[in-house]
Amino acid sequence: MTATALADTILFAHALIVAFVVFSLPLTLIGGWRGWSWVRRPGFRFLHLGLIGFIVAQTWLGELCPLTIWENDLRGASGPGESFIAYWLRALIYVDVPLSVLAVVYTAFAALVALSFWWVPVRFGVQTRGAHGAHGA
Tell me which residue range forms the domain holding 9: 3-119
Q: CA–CA separation, 95 vs 68, rounded Å?
A: 13
User: Per the domain annotation, does 35 fall within a domain?
Assistant: yes
Q: Is residue 10 part of a domain?
A: yes
Domain count, the chain: 1
The answer as to whether 24 is a domain residue is yes
Q: Of the candidates 41, 37, 39, 19, which has an alpha carbon nearest to the alpha carbon of residue 93?
A: 19
Per-residue model confidence as pLDDT tens digits over 10-65: 999 999 999 999 999 999 999 999 999 999 999 999 999 999 999 999 999 999 99
Residue 72 falls inside a structural domain: yes
Q: Is 132 within the bounds of a domain? A: no
- pLDDT tens digits for range 70-97: 999 998 876 667 788 899 999 999 999 9
**Cα gap 51→45, rounded to integer Å:** 10
CB-CB contact of 61 with 88 (8 Å): no
Residue 135: inside a domain = no
Cα separation, 52 vs 54, in Å, equals 5
Residue 14 falls inside a structural domain: yes
Residue 22 lies in a domain: yes
Whether this prediction's pTM lies above 0.95 is answered by: no
Predicted pLDDT of residue 2: 87
